[in-house]
Structure 1
Amino acid sequence: MEQQTLSAHEAEILAERACLAAGANHATARSLAKATVSAELFGRAGVGFPHLLDYLSSFRAGRINGYAEPQLTSPLPAIMHSDADGGIAQLGFDSAASTLVERTRELGVTLFTQRNSYTTGELGYYVRRLALEGLIAFAVSNSPAVVAGAPGGQGVFGTNPMAFAAPLADAIAPLVIDQASSATAFVNLAKAAEEGREIPAGWATDETGSMTTDATAALRGTLLAFGGTKGANVALMVECLAAGVSGASWSLDMPDFQKGERLIDAGMTIIAIQPTAIDADFATRLSRQLDRIADRGTYVPGRRPVQNDVSEADQVTIDTAVLEDIRRFL
């Protein structure tokens, strides 16, 4: 597949211009552009520029309030609650991030929870940013129901991802874990269908509830939770924390995030911890432990340099077809 390479600054400008043209205000466009490029550089490219197309279409269709003004309240000192006003999840988090970091350093543990947003994009983005501030962070979010708890069942959960990050001795290279409760992320299924590739057995069922390796048939059916019942239990726990705590819609009650005109009302909850409150040597101890684990043949995610802002040297490589689709919004 043909690709093009842009500097990270060029990519941010392109994403921001496309958001503005699609119906977002400057704050929303800037917030989403930064998150999109961050996903390309440091997270999961599939929820970078390819997923930006979902946002752009949703601005145009009214599934996202492009002029949202998130409302932040604090019912308790250690709890921050955001109503994203039907906008993007990233803007609500941006509005609260500095206060969240400050209170976590002061109180030791804080909780940020948000309702009434579009789907959260790359969940690792949020915890990665907090880890760069020296905090441990655990995040969960829900999305429209596309995942069945068992083969043959109906979709009851979103892909309901979870993400975790922790600071290490190298302060700019934290441990970062980001994974769905489903056997794969929805964007991976959609990409396989677009490219005409088969998917592994166990990822999804077709519209009759039968197991399938046909990605297009799977789009008409449901994804499956990873690990059978255990994965479904994890998806349920995520649902409780993401939608239950925040007051957002349950996945079953959400509209399709790619069709229609209704706002999604997704939920996200982040728990932030100041690890040095008890152990000033936490980052060094964890780094040594991860080294021991890696030496025994276990893959350890993350541990590569990341940053909150792009540099002159950063570049992103994007499929030409995706770039052409984005430029059509300009």
Structure 2
Amino acid sequence: MPDETLTIAIPEIRSLAMDACLACGASSSVAQSLVDATISAACEGTRDLGFPHLMDYLARFRSGGINGQARPKIQHPLPALIQVDADGGIAQLGFDLIFEDYVKRIRAFGVVTFTQKNSFTAGELGYYVRRLAAEGILSIAVANGPALMTVPGSRRKIFCTNPIAFAAPAGPGRRPVVIDQASSATAFVKLRSAADEKRSIPDSWALDGNGQPTTDASEAIKGALLPFGGYKGANMALMVELLAAGLSGAAWSMDGDDFIDETRRIDAGLTVIGMAPIDAVGFAERLDRYASRLEDDGVHVPGRNRDRPLSAHVTVPLALVEKLKHLSLSTPPDR
């Protein structure tokens, strides 16, 4: 039987989530960045990486697996390159701190790279590119983390889910094109959700602890995810790894700490490449006309989501709201 849900006003759930973050040991700046990204995922992106994923952050704030008081260190080794050390905190904060300057540099130089190491996993990757699209900027984002996925020819976990996201800005009143997908056949949060709900999974998603395909999500968590499309997904994961961890100096996925252990700090990498169209208005108008032609021909254009209007409310599991209320009243951990 599906969990009972609650439709709640965004200002109310924002306040509740902020209180929970602060009570679990996050600073106000960390909490603000995380809650903004969470609401964005819940309303415009991947809902599984919205409020359900927020609970992972809260647990790690309390355990010390995320530095809730992080102060990212920002460097500009080149005019078109921004490097950030996230100080063991969340990935979103470093991006927030440089965002205004990042947009200015992209408009000045045409193409600018942001790269970050030493953070928790990036969360919903579409969040970063959607924000740039709102500024009229095209962008590609890639991220890695601790190894969760094996590849053809190997018997061990080599890569994380290694997602890639892309966004292109649309005209006024229109949503951008947004593509956000993992290199793995499914996201780890979806696998864990299936295990929690005791749902079966396709046997192409993962291997069990003995290296055999499985439809049992609980057994899959003991094993490894599989890439989509065999070698094609594995090749994309490698490309993401080199851009996310290689450029940033973050840990290679196969060298990262255990993702399941909530007490361990994760040194994940994130790279975002922003590109300014020469004629932003003309580009957006051309994209709108092209996207409309595709949609009229039955093609799904990711991100446009005609059936998902923006709302002042969000629907979340009632149990999650109760958990947030409980956490918001707890005592911050003593560090």
Q: TM-score range by the shorter chain?
A: over 0.9
Contact 1:169 1:284 in 2 (8 A): yes
Aligned to 2:315: 317
Contact 2:86 2:94 in 1 (8 A): yes
Matched, 1:72 2:74: yes
Deviation at residue 239 of structure 1 after TM alignment? 0.3
Deviation at residue 130 of structure 1 after TM alignment? 0.3
Matched, 1:302 2:303: yes
Q: Distance in 2 between matches of 1:209 and 1:170?
A: 50
Q: Distance in 1 between matches of 2:247 and 2:313?
A: 38
Deviation at residue 291 of structure 1 after TM alignment? 2.1
Q: Distance in 1 between matches of 2:280 and 2:74?
A: 31
- How many correspondences in the alignment? 323
Aligned to 1:109: 111
Seen in structure 2, the aligned counterparts of structure 1 residues 324 and 279 have a Cα distance that, compared at 3 Å, is closer
Deviation at residue 86 of structure 1 after TM alignment? 0.5
Q: Distance in 2 between matches of 1:263 and 1:82?
A: 17
Aligned to 2:190: 188
Q: Distance in 2 between matches of 1:4 and 1:260?
A: 28
Amino acid of the structure 2 residue aligned with 1:315: H
Amino acid of the structure 2 residue aligned with 1:298: V
Q: Distance in 1 between matches of 2:280 and 2:70?
A: 40
Matched, 1:327 2:325: yes
Matched, 1:286 2:298: no
- Gaps of at least 5 residues in structure 1 are 306-310
- Is 94-103 or 284-293 further displaced after alignment? 284-293
Contact 2:85 2:117 in 1 (8 A): yes
Q: Distance in 2 between matches of 1:191 and 1:320?
A: 16
- Give secondary structure in 2 for the equivalent of 1:288: helix
Q: Distance in 2 between matches of 1:228 and 1:323?
A: 39
- Give secondary structure in 1 for the equivalent of 2:316: strand
Contact 2:171 2:281 in 1 (8 A): no
Aligned to 2:333: none
Matched, 1:98 2:85: no
- Give secondary structure in 2 for the equivalent of 1:81: strand
Q: Distance in 1 between matches of 2:288 and 2:262?
A: 47
Deviation at residue 259 of structure 1 after TM alignment? 1.4
- Give secondary structure in 2 for the equivalent of 1:67: coil
Deviation at residue 237 of structure 1 after TM alignment? 0.3
- Give secondary structure in 2 for the equivalent of 1:178: strand
After superposition, give the CA deviation of every residue in 1:253-312 in whole Å (9 maximum; x if it has no partner). Answer: 21123414221010000000001x26751111122222222233321111259xxxxx9x
Deviation at residue 110 of structure 1 after TM alignment? 0.4
Q: Distance in 2 between matches of 1:73 and 1:121?
A: 23
Aligned to 2:178: 176
- Give secondary structure in 1 for the equivalent of 2:266: coil
Amino acid of the structure 2 residue aligned with 1:284: E
After superposition, give the CA deviation of every residue in 1:140-192 in whole Å (9 maximum; x if it has no partner). Answer: 00011000112873211000111000111235511111111100100000001
Q: Distance in 2 between matches of 1:149 and 1:70?
A: 33
Contact 1:58 1:258 in 2 (8 A): no
Aligned to 1:163: 165
Contact 1:132 1:171 in 2 (8 A): no
Deviation at residue 88 of structure 1 after TM alignment? 0.4
Q: Distance in 2 between matches of 1:325 and 1:225?
A: 34
Q: Distance in 2 between matches of 1:11 and 1:258?
A: 27
Q: Distance in 2 between matches of 1:234 and 1:165?
A: 18
Q: Distance in 2 between matches of 1:182 and 1:54?
A: 20
- Is 255-264 or 80-89 further displaced after alignment? 255-264
- Give secondary structure in 1 for the equivalent of 2:327: coil
Q: Distance in 1 between matches of 2:292 and 2:174?
A: 17
Contact 1:8 1:314 in 2 (8 A): yes
- Give secondary structure in 2 for the equivalent of 1:134: coil
Aligned to 1:308: none
- Is 163-172 or 37-46 further displaced after alignment? 163-172
Identity of aligned residues (%): 52
What is the Cα-based RMSD across aligned positions, in Å? Answer: 1.6
Contact 2:136 2:280 in 1 (8 A): no
Aligned to 1:200: 202
Match of 1:218 among 217, 220, 223: 220
Seen in structure 2, the aligned counterparts of structure 1 residues 248 and 171 have a Cα distance that, compared at 3 Å, is farther
Q: Distance in 1 between matches of 2:137 and 2:283?
A: 11
After superposition, give the CA deviation of every residue in 1:198-218 in whole Å (9 maximum; x if it has no partner). Answer: 011200010001001111110
Q: Distance in 1 between matches of 2:210 and 2:263?
A: 28
- Is 175-184 or 152-161 further displaced after alignment? 152-161
TM-score, normalisation: structure 1: 0.94
Contact 1:152 1:205 in 2 (8 A): no
Amino acid of the structure 2 residue aligned with 1:259: D
